[in-house]
């Protein structure tokens, strides 16, 4: 009799999985699982999303936008950190909408942030990320909740989220100057939203100009592939044929690999962690390959984080360098080579033999300095630096890393595959200068 218990339990679990599988083959049930917008998590849990003080959001205002189908979306506008104290001092009072509008009209660069599925913009890692964009990279940041998420109206669908993205884009473009660079940062599901937005803008000449670039954090190729790798679908994959039954009935596709081919003229920075338990690193690589094939290798950069997970890439130094280099938004402060002080971005050393201005900006945004061939060390203020290439072998120590050329993939600050371990002698190769950069602690 006891021997029948395991079989009965297995049969019950299989029946349950089949029942749930049948249920989720219906579109409304699929959307509840795909978007998980009904999870209203935020930190602190009791805070209203409009309570900026509760989220420790200084220099931030609550904003809203109306979509083309009449829904109201709510979000935040964060000022660049460098402007908060200055604007507050000039105003001599609490900041008002007019102050924010004036700053936005004169903005050099703006980042529009699209978050992943589930919960709200008030989840801690999302709050930390937008603070990082506004602080470390010194950018205006727009962070909205999609329809049905947080305090925004409506119910999420694939087509609806595109309308949301278009409304947010139009709202931003109507307020910035003609020379403002507007970047779009998508995370997880937000990467698919960002790609759809870029494709729609590229195909409609009547719309405002394209984003200056897309930053895709933990992206996926399409919804079926994403679901196949997501741990939440494991019970359905264990029952033979069940996952295929559900996947064949998915009403929405979020096919980023196909959509990206329509985003002509847009530059991409793709970031993915090798320890991502939600979206396999190989999926991000596959999207990068599809993008490179469609848009050209020069339009796509892929950065792999050896220790990165699904939602913590912005906590790595490599993230600062990659995103800072891609957007031109250099870190606000970087430690000097000597490690005894900090020096501002305008004090950084240029690369003498780097003739390409874009490449020079990329290095400068990374906070890199040329280590003089003589072995001299820059002081805390960066003084005494010389613009020169490395003409002779330079011995590296554990205090330094070799910085990869922009065209190379990078893994935690080192070229991949690694051509020279730390402590090795780096020499001029094939007539190209080799640059040395300090580790930014």
Tokens 């009904």 found at: 38
pLDDT above 60 for 403:
no
Q: What is the pLDDT of residue 350?
A: 28
Q: What's the mean pLDDT in 331-359?
A: 31
What domains lie within the chain, and their CATH numbers? 33-327 (3.40.50.1820), 335-411+423-441 (no CATH)
**Cis omega (within 30 of 0) for bond into 387:** no
Q: Are 391 and 427 in contact (CB under 8 A)?
A: no
pLDDT above 90 for 362:
no
Q: What's the mean pLDDT in 162-190?
A: 97
Pairwise CA distance, residues 173 & 354, whole Å: 34
pLDDT confidence bin for 85, thresholds 50/70/90: confident
Most confidently predicted of 15-19, 87-91, 96-100, 249-253: 96-100
Q: Identify which of 78, 192, 95 has the alpha carbon closest to the alpha carbon of residue 144.
A: 78
When mean pLDDT is compared across 13-22, 92-101, 280-289, the lowest value belongs to 13-22
Q: What is the pLDDT of residue 20?
A: 57
CA 307-309-311 angle, to 5 degrees, is: 135
**Cis omega (within 30 of 0) for bond into 7:** no
pLDDT confidence bin for 213, thresholds 50/70/90: very high
Pairwise CA distance, residues 158 & 42, whole Å: 24
Most confidently predicted of 186-200, 238-252, 340-354, 369-383: 186-200
Task: Write out the two tokens for 12.
Answer: 């019950």
**427 contact partners, CB below 8 Å, separation of at least 6:** 393, 434
Q: What is the pLDDT of residue 69?
A: 98
Tokens 């690694």 found at: 418
pLDDT confidence bin for 182, thresholds 50/70/90: very high
pLDDT confidence bin for 356, thresholds 50/70/90: very low
Q: Identify which of 136, 267, 138, 129 has the alpha carbon closest to the alpha carbon of residue 190.
A: 129
Q: What is the pLDDT of residue 273?
A: 96
Report H helices in 206-356: 223-229, 234-238, 242-247, 256-259, 281-295, 317-327
Report H helices in 106-157: 124-135
Positive or negative torsion for Cα 226, 277, 136, 421: negative
Q: What's the mean pLDDT in 348-352?
A: 28
Q: What's the mean pLDDT in 89-106?
A: 92
Instruction: State how beta strands 60-66 and 72-78 pair.
Output: antiparallel
Q: What's the mean pLDDT in 422-439?
A: 29
For residue 172, what is the DSSP state? Answer: H
Residue 341: phi and psi, rounded to 5, are -165, -175
pLDDT above 50 for 171:
yes
Rg (CA), the chain: 24
248 or 58: which leads in pLDDT? 58
3-state DSSP call for residue 280? coil
Q: What is the pLDDT of residue 372?
A: 33
pLDDT above 80 for 307:
yes
Q: What's the mean pLDDT in 276-303?
A: 96
What rounded mean pLDDT belongs to the chain?
75
In sequence order, the β-bridge partners of residue 78 are 60, 141
**29 contact partners, CB below 8 Å, separation of at least 6:** 23
Q: What is the pLDDT of residue 14?
A: 52
């Amino acid at each position: 009799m006891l021997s029948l218990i395991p079989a009965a339990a297995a049969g019950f679990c299989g029946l349950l999985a089949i029942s749930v599988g049948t249920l989720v083959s219906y579109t409304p049930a699929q959307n509840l699982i795909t978007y998980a917008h009904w999870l209203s998590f935020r930190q602190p849990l009791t805070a209203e999303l409009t309570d900026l003080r509760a989220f420790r959001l200084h220099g931030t205002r609550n904003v809203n936008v109306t979509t083309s189908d009449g829904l109201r979306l709510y979000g935040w506008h964060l000022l660049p950190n460098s402007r908060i104290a200055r604007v507050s001092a000039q105003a001599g009072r609490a900041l008002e909408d007019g102050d924010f509008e004036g700053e936005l009209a004169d903005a050099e660069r703006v980042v529009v942030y699209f978050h992943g599925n589930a919960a709200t913009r008030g989840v801690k890692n999302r709050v930390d990320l937008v603070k990082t964009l506004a602080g470390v990279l010194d950018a205006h940041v727009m962070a909205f909740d999609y329809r049905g998420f947080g305090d925004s109206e409506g119910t999420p669908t694939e087509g609806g989220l595109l309308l949301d993205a278009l409304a947010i884009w139009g709202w931003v473009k109507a307020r910035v100057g003609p020379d403002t660079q507007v970047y779009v940062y998508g995370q997880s599901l937000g990467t698919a939203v960002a790609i759809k937005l870029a494709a729609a803008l590229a195909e409609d000449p009547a719309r405002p100009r394209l984003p200056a670039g897309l930053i895709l954090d933990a992206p996926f190729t399409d919804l079926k592939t994403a679901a196949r790798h997501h741990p939440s679908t494991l019970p359905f994959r264990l029952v033979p044929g069940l996952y295929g039954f559900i996947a064949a009935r998915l009403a929405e596709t979020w096919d980023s690999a196909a959509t990206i081919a329509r985003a002509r003229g847009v530059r991409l920075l793709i970031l993915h962690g090798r320890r991502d338990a939600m979206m396999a690193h190989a999926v991000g690589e596959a999207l990068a390959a599809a993008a490179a094939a469609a848009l050209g290798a020069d339009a796509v950069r892929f950065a792999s984080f050896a220790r990165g997970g699904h939602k913590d890439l912005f906590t790595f130094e490599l993230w600062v360098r990659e995103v800072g280099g891609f957007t031109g938004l250099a870190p606000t402060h970087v430690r000097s080579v000597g490690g005894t002080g900090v020096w501002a971005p305008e004090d950084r050393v240029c690369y003498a033999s780097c003739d390409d201005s874009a490449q020079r900006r990329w290095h400068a945004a990374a906070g890199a300095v040329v280590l003089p061939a003589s072995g001299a060390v820059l002081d805390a203020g960066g003084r005494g630096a010389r613009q020169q290439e490395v003409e002779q072998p330079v011995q590296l120590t554990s205090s330094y890393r070799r910085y990869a050329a922009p065209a190379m993939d990078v893994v935690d600050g080192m070229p991949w595959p690694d051509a020279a371990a730390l402590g090795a002698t780096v020499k001029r190769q094939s007539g190209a200068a080799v640059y040395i950069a300090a580790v930014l602690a």
